[in-house]
Amino acid sequence: MFPPQIRRAPAAVLASETADAHHTALIDAFGALSYGDLAERVATGVAGLPAVQTGRRLVHIPLTAERELVVAYLAVLQAGHVALVTPPEHASITAAYPPDLWLQEDGSFSGALDREPRYLLHPDLALLLSTSGSTGSPKLVRLSHTNLISNADAIVAALSITAADRAITSLPLHYCFGLSVLHAQLRAGATAVLWRGSVTETAFGAELRKSRVTLLPATPHVVDLLDAQGLLDAVPTLRLLAQAGGALPAARVSELAARGEAGGWGLAVMYGQTEATARMAVLPPELAGRYPDAVGWPIAGSAFRLDTAGIEQPAGTDGPVGELLFSGPGVMLGYAEHPDDLALGRTHSELRTGDLARIDADGIVRIVGRRSDHLKIMGIRIDLLQVERTLRDRGVRCCVTGTDEQLQVTHEGAAGPVRDLAATAAGLGRSVVSAQEVAELPRLPNGKLDRRACAALHAVQTGYDHDDATSSLAAVTRALAPLVGAGTIDPERSFAELGGDSFNHVTASVRLTRLLGTLPPDWHHRPVRDLIELAAQHADRRPARRPLIRRVETTVVLRGLAVITICGSHVGLFRLAGGAHILLAVSGFLFARYVLTAPDTAERVRRTARAAITIVVPATIASAVMVFGFQSIHWSNLALLHWLVRPQDINIFWFLEALLMLFAVTVALLAVPRLRAAYGADPWRTAMAALAVLLVPRYLLPAVFDGPVRGLPITVAWLFVAGIAMAVAGRRNRSLVTAVVAVAAAAGFFPDWDRDLTIMAGLAVLALVPALPVPGLLVRPLGVLAAASLHVYLVQFQVFALFGNTIVEFFVSLAAGIVFCALSTFVLRRLPLPEPTVGSPIRRRATAMYRLRKDRPCVDVRS
């Protein structure tokens, strides 16, 4: 057993005792947080965690640049527990290392706080990170408090970071470089600006200027994205561009160094790996122009050496080439490949980087390749990185991979005779070179080239055997690409980021259910890479026969069943009213998932406008037929303002009018800074507070006024907001509270108890059951009905006027709605719908992902 003392190191991430308590530590959308306030919040978080005397816990931290999550992360380290930091979702890691506690989106912890710890954790262990190339793998890097402290202090010294500096989280915090930036800022008593979105968003440049950012971290890919937007020369407070995470071409370094010198900022080129707590070497800005091909000198207290054993030395007198070995206090404790490894102490005193390098007489380091980037094809030894560099010097943006039989070049756009260029560079015949053109090179979450994905493209192209991941990549792409108007799918973006929305949610959900089985609740916000991984895992477990029962998302099932009950009740085939009121809650649920997750008000307005247009177009067509053809409704129905013009009349389109009004009011209210801040800090509490307010008109209006008041927007708004609260509840106890409140509010809403029971059942299921069992043969028909639910709702009234048989009316209404869905989609494809924000000019090719294509299938537009 370990000695009873627990090594705790608050200084690993918090500023020294001399830091000014009033100085700003963090800035986010909700304002500034001082070091004094940060310390108090961290102390509160520590108090809410189990005492380390009862055993140290492994705590899962799905870390993003949000205040509550950062505070909770610091509290875990401060308390002496071990943080397992991952992207927001990575089931494979937590499946291999089930944590004791789970950090929730609101900064609280779930799990049995009084349960005995699962693991024996070494006293030095503080942090677990996945390596750059092993995201989704159970292989983790074990880091200590000493690693964190020493690396942060060394970076503070190397980059001359002072309390006046402000660095923005332009890189993910679950990525070692991004997390190192946060550590260094806090260690220096400086300020970290928490940016949640992408650097390609138009608001990013405004945030740089508004928050007076002085230090901008970037990988080579991020440098290109920033430069394409003109941001490197548009931030007057910028002091330093800190580049790591891959090599910039020497010419690019020279160019940036010269521009920085003219613009008043410097370029610091750095080199690092997760296994060395992020950064190992720094080239000072004043020498970037002089040594553009170098990564600099080792950080303070560290050293490099070369291992030339087994390395074929090139001709010339530039000095020996060897594998670069790093030593110093930042070297990890070692890897963890099994939960038992968490009990291990230090197993590495020196890090073999895998990189080939030269070290000149002054100690400056130049990376020249990787040991793993050499292979033999037809007996000829090929340096893949050298081939890649040669092609890039010829203007080809590419990734070079290979097998023992084939050299593979994945390149962006048409780039001339790529196969000939690669064959010449490698000294091979053209017949053993495969060239694959893509719109954009696939990248890992940290911005580095995804070489596995590039190689997989060639496996598909050439007909070579490929694994389940490659098959799943093709299957998921086929499922999602038509829905977002894309020929290819960026695996690092989610369905929502690709342009998916609640309009095509049903179709995507049904297609992915067939590939993944039961869908994760947040599948639409997970990177497509995660969905591909889940699809591959499901393929391994898939039975030979088609399953008799599938679990389908509750929102899809409710939409399909609701349209059947609405149509059947209206036609008189049976009586099961209340479906439209359930759909209103479902609409609020999906509105929260797709619209309210937008990073800013402008994007929320854009998404809401898209939703409104997609509802108004088919509603206007249907209303016009009834007004001018059948003369069966008032003109105010055509204007979708019947509730305002003639509130005393029965309104057959009350649902649509209420929905449009609630869309607009919700987005308008969340544009108010105080309300936006409250919702950002705790969406569920804010939604529940709004629900409490809206229950007043829900009870008051039916009691005071006679007539059809239960379809007015103000009267049914509580259902929409209840759906929002269900979507953002996050924890089981919150979902239960929401269900109880919503079900209680539904009791007595109508005079007829059977309708109330239907609504109560629908609300309870929506709040508590993420997926429902459906016979396998019915999944696709149910999805088609759910997708066309709005259109069935609109055309049913015209069908009633043409037929006299209830059964015929019922089935013709469903069929007509499906046909109308296809026709309205045809019209919508030709309308200039508001596009999602796609960011910088460098991503113009990706805008095709967001355009509606002619072959886009019929999708639901209810919410």
Q: Which amino acid is at 678?
A: A
Residues with Cβ within 8 Å of 790's Cβ and at least 6 positions away in sequence, in order, are 615, 618, 821, 860, 861, 862
Residue 862 has what pLDDT? 27
Question: Per-residue confidence at 460, pLDDT binned at 50, 70, 90?
Answer: very low
Question: Per-residue confidence at 183, pLDDT binned at 50, 70, 90?
Answer: very high
Q: Span 399-416, mean pLDDT?
A: 82
pLDDT for 347 beyond 60? yes
Q: Span 550-571, mean pLDDT?
A: 84
Choose between 681 and 171: higher pLDDT: 171
Choose between 604 and 191: higher pLDDT: 191
Spell out the SS3 assignment of 693-761.
Answer: HHHHHHHHHHHHCCCCHHHCHHHHHHHHHHHHHHHHCCCHHHHHHHHHHHHHHHCCCCCCHHHHHHHHH
Q: What is the DSSP letter of 682?
A: -
Residue 846 has what pLDDT? 30
pLDDT tens-digit series, residues 59-71: 999 999 999 999 9
CA distance 421 to 435: 11
Q: Is 542 helix (H, G, I), strand (E, B) or coil?
A: coil
Question: Per-residue confidence at 114, pLDDT binned at 50, 70, 90?
Answer: confident
Q: What is the pTM of this model?
A: 0.53
Q: Span 759-780, mean pLDDT?
A: 89
pLDDT tens-digit series, residues 417-426: 888 888 888 8
Q: What six digits make up the tokens of 429?
A: 């015949």
pLDDT for 824 beyond 90? no
Residue with tokens 């003639």: 646
Residue 503 has what pLDDT? 65
Name the percent of the chain lying above pLDDT 70: 80
Kindly list the domain boundaries of the chain, sorted by start residue. Answer: 10-365, 378-466, 553-849
Asked if 622 contacts 794 with a C-beta cutoff of 8 angstroms, the reply is: yes
CATH fourth-level superfamily of 378-466? ANL, C-terminal domain (3.30.300.30)
Residue 814 has what pLDDT? 86
Which DSSP string do the residues of 771-808 spell out, in sequence order?
Answer: EEEEEGGGHHHHHHHHHTHHHHHHHHHHHHTT---HHH
CA distance 611 to 595: 9
pLDDT for 462 beyond 50? no
pLDDT for 351 beyond 60? yes
Q: What six digits make up the tokens of 287?
A: 């020498």
Residue 7 has what pLDDT? 39
pLDDT for 284 beyond 80? yes
Q: Which of 251-260, 547-556, 589-598 has the highest mean pLDDT?
A: 251-260
Q: Span 751-762, mean pLDDT?
A: 88
Cα-Cα-Cα-Cα dihedral of 580, 581, 582, 585, to 10°? Answer: 120
pLDDT for 304 beyond 50? yes
pLDDT for 195 beyond 60? yes
Choose between 202 and 527: higher pLDDT: 202
Residue 212 has what pLDDT? 96
Q: Is 399 helix (H, G, I), strand (E, B) or coil?
A: strand
Mean pLDDT over the full length of the chain? 81
CA distance 863 to 842: 32
Q: Assign domain 10-365 one CATH number from 3.40.50.970, 3.50.50.60, 3.40.50.12780, 3.10.450.350.
A: 3.40.50.12780
Which DSSP string do the residues of 330-378 spell out, in sequence order?
Answer: TS-SEEESSGGGGG-----SEEEEEEEEEE-TT--EEEEEEGGGEEEET
Pick the closest to residue 82 from 64, 97, 92 (CA basis).
97
Residue 843 has what pLDDT? 31
Q: 209-218, 335-344, 355-364, 497-506 — which is least confidently predicted?
A: 497-506
Q: 142-156, 622-636, 695-709 — which is least confidently predicted?
A: 622-636
Question: Per-residue confidence at 279, pLDDT binned at 50, 70, 90?
Answer: very high
Question: Per-residue confidence at 89, pLDDT binned at 50, 70, 90?
Answer: low
Name the percent of the chain lying above pLDDT 90: 36
Helices (H), 64-112: 67-79, 91-96
Q: Span 234-250, mean pLDDT?
A: 92
pLDDT for 134 beyond 50? no
Spell out the SS3 assignment of 14-68.
Answer: CCCCCCCCCCEEEEECCEEEEHHHHHHHHHHHHHCCCCHHHCCCEEEEECCCCHH
Q: 420-424, 483-487, 710-714 — which is least confidently predicted?
A: 483-487
Spell out the SS3 assignment of 283-321.
Answer: ECHHHCCCCCCCCEEECCCCEEEEECCCCCCCCCCCCCC
pLDDT for 5 beyond 50? no
Residues with Cβ within 8 Å of 259's Cβ and at least 6 positions away in sequence, in order, are 232, 233
CA distance 314 to 323: 14
Cα separation values, 717 from 43, 347, 721, 860, Å: 40, 60, 6, 21
CA distance 601 to 607: 10
Q: Span 110-129, mean pLDDT?
A: 89
Q: Which amino acid is at 194?
A: L
Residue 584 has what pLDDT? 92
